[in-house]
Copies of this chain bind each other. A is one copy, B any other.
Amino acid sequence: RFFAKQPFSQMLSGNFLGAPLGIGDDAAIVSIPNEHDLVVTTDTSISGRHFLESTSAFHIAYRSIAVSLSDLAAMGAIPYGFLLNITLPEYNEVWLTEFSGGIAQIAKTYGLTLIGGDTTRGPLAIGVTHLGLVSKGQAIQRSTAKSGDLIIVSGSLGDAAAGLDCLKRETRAVTDYLPSRYLQPEVRLNLGRVLGGFATSAIDISDGLLADLGHILTKSGVGGVINFDAIPLSNAIVDYWGETKARQFAVCCGDDYELCFTIPADKCDTLKVLADKVNIELTVIGQINSDVGNLQCLDSAGNPMEFLNTGFNHFYDN
């Protein structure tokens, strides 16, 4: 089902719209080049759960598309096209125009093409499905980390959690650094692309470092140790929360959409070259070990720390 029968289809114009067949048939037709695998991922963002009810239509569009796109980054894939499932309580042209602006913005930023979707009436929710391409057999997986590998994260962590806190308290403009880290997360597509054939595993940090790194450990059948003091923080979050609180949020909270990945220890020197190439800070925060499924976070004295909330779970924690 496509936008064809909806007035919305007419609003979705611009160079982010299109496909080999274009929008308006029963389904989109896409030609996958030979020697490539297709990567496909889907996410639903619900009003009041994945974004605040006060969030603008522009930011709802931008963030919903970004958080799903981040899965392609973690696989080392190049975006090929995406589908949007929009559920709206009512037809509202002003809202849709603003929403289209958000689509246009992120499409321009990352070179995305909207190839289809569906609009329905109901409680506000946005479903995004991204298709991506990787060279055959080159997708980076979660299940292939090895004991001895170094654990790396990109950028700084916790900013989105601080940004969300600002937005809830309405203390800062949506365009300030911290709120914008939540509303318009940077998607690490360029980093993911250069990690293919280099990283042994990767994941994007959506639920929180402990939770997401935990997925790598479980899937790979390994354990890991990270150092609390090594977690990279922005100046903005340290100013906002002070260093200790900032670091706790950086370890436990998600929504930053930075990448966490592992590399063989002997490739540590290459990391600097790679960081310069993509112009993203990359920080070694720990190491994979053989203590299966066990993830320890050590304080500056080398003692294991305990955290009450280790990540986002739709049915249990929240």
Contacts and interface: CB of A to CB of B under 8 A. Distances in A.
Interface stretch (A3-11, A105-113, A276-284): A3-11
Nearest to A41: B27
A98 interface: no
Copies of this chain held together in the complex = 2
B121 A122 contact: no
A196 to B, nearest CB: 13
Contact of A117 (B7, B42, B77): B42
Contacts of A227: none
A117 B43 CA distance: 7
B75 A121 contact: no
Identify which of A75, A139, A315 gathers the most chain B CB atoms within 10 Å of its CB: A315
A136 B6 CA distance: 29
A110 to B, nearest CB: 16
A44 B143 contact: no
Contacts of A300: none
A142 B25 contact: yes
A38 B142 CA distance: 26
Contacts of A169: none
A139 to B, nearest CB: 5
A21 interface: yes
A241 interface: no
A142 B24 contact: yes
Interface string A40-82: 1111111111100000000000000000100110110100000
B207 A5 contact: yes
Given A1-B43, A1-B71, A121 B314 contact: yes
Given A85-B127, A127-B127, A31 B1 contact: no
A43 B206 contact: no
8 contacts: A1-B68, A1-B206, A26-B202, A27-B40, A27-B130, A30-B40, A44-B85, A85-B127
A83 B39 CA distance: 12
Contacts of A130: 27
A2 B42 CA distance: 8
A142 to B, nearest CB: 5
A37 interface: yes
Given A40-B83, A315-B121, A27 B77 contact: yes
A78 to B, nearest CB: 12
Interface string A139-151: 1011100000000
Interface in A241-256: none
A253 to B, nearest CB: 15
Nearest to A27: B41
